[in-house]
Amino acid sequence: MTSPEDQEPARRPSGPSETPETPGTPETSETSAAGEASEVSAAGESSEASGTSVASGVVTKDRIYRSPGGIVGGVLLLGLVGWLGIDAIVAGEGRTPWLALAVLILIVPLAVALTLRPAVYAGEDRLRVRNPFRVIVLPWGQVAALRSGYSNEVVAASGKKFQLWSVPVSLRARKRATRQETRARAEQRDGRTASRSADGLGPLGGFGGGGRARAGRAVPDGPARAQTDQVMDELRQLWEAHEKDESAQGEVTVRWAWEILGPAAAGAVVLGILLAVG
């Protein structure tokens, strides 16, 4: 006969439970990596529209330069044109409302293009110039020079020149900056002379204490520069810092602003037809 111990089945030693491997785990990690790569790629494609740059997978905001005077002038011009045009459309008789409408379709896009539209977007990998009728994208590696004369312009490696409409040159501001620099240097020179004479007797035998206050006046470091010249200096610094970067290489692209040219051309055609039928 068998003993009760022999009839009992052998018990397995207790231990940590084994979890069956789930297939597809590497595919999940690869999918997430691909998703992250697609997100970076999408950010790079939309950088031109949002005013950002993608350098080494890091999205950075661009520096935006506009003309405050152009924006103010454009708002005033659009307000005047809109007021006159709407008044002619509402109160006009005969062909006047149609002529006013055609003029509005022609003038409003041109006014926006020449005043509100111009801007310069400077990032770590490229310079994007939005002029009235074109958009030029220049990687820093394709920029040959940034020039300031009677107009501010960027020169591509191919030799083509593109004007920066949103950074206009002001000769009056340059002359004012030159006068300020000359005045500051003269005050600095007079202050040094007065401080030296203050240690002893003045030229008339009195103590030169009055020169101490002038000597303490702060003198700006470096030459005085006009606002637009300072903007060009900042653009040159970005260019020199990033022209050798791998992300700053590529081709120069130029795109016409059909969103401006199309409505303006349509308004011109309608206006011409109305005047010809007249």
The rounded distance, in Å, linking the Cα atoms of 27 and 36 is: 14
Given this model, what pLDDT does residue 75 score? Answer: 97
What pTM was computed for the model? 0.65
pLDDT of residue 149: 82
Q: How far apart are CA 196 and CA 212, in angstroms?
A: 9
Predicted confidence at residue 148, as pLDDT, reads 86
Which are the contacts of 79, defined by CB distance < 8 A and separation ≥ 6? none
pLDDT value of position 80: 96
Contacts (Cβ under 8 Å, ≥6 apart) of 102: 267, 270, 271, 274
d(CA 54, CA 72): 32
pLDDT of residue 172: 72
What pLDDT, in 10s, does the model give residues 175-190? 676 676 677 777 766 6
d(C-alpha 66, C-alpha 203), whole Å: 53
**For 149-156, which contacts have Cβ atoms below 8 Å and span 24 or more sequence positions?**
152/228, 152/231, 152/232, 154/127, 154/129, 154/235, 156/252
**Low-confidence stretches of the chain (pLDDT beneath 70):** 1-59, 173-175, 177-178, 180-181, 188-225
Q: What is the token pair recorded at 21?
A: 């491997």
- Token pair 């590696």 in the structure block, residue: 141
- Written as one letter, the residue type at 67 is S
Beta bridge partners of 153: 147, 163
Return left, alpha or beta for 159; rule: phi > 0 is left, psi -120 to 50 is alpha, else beta.
left
pLDDT score of 228 = 79
What does the pLDDT read at residue 178?
67
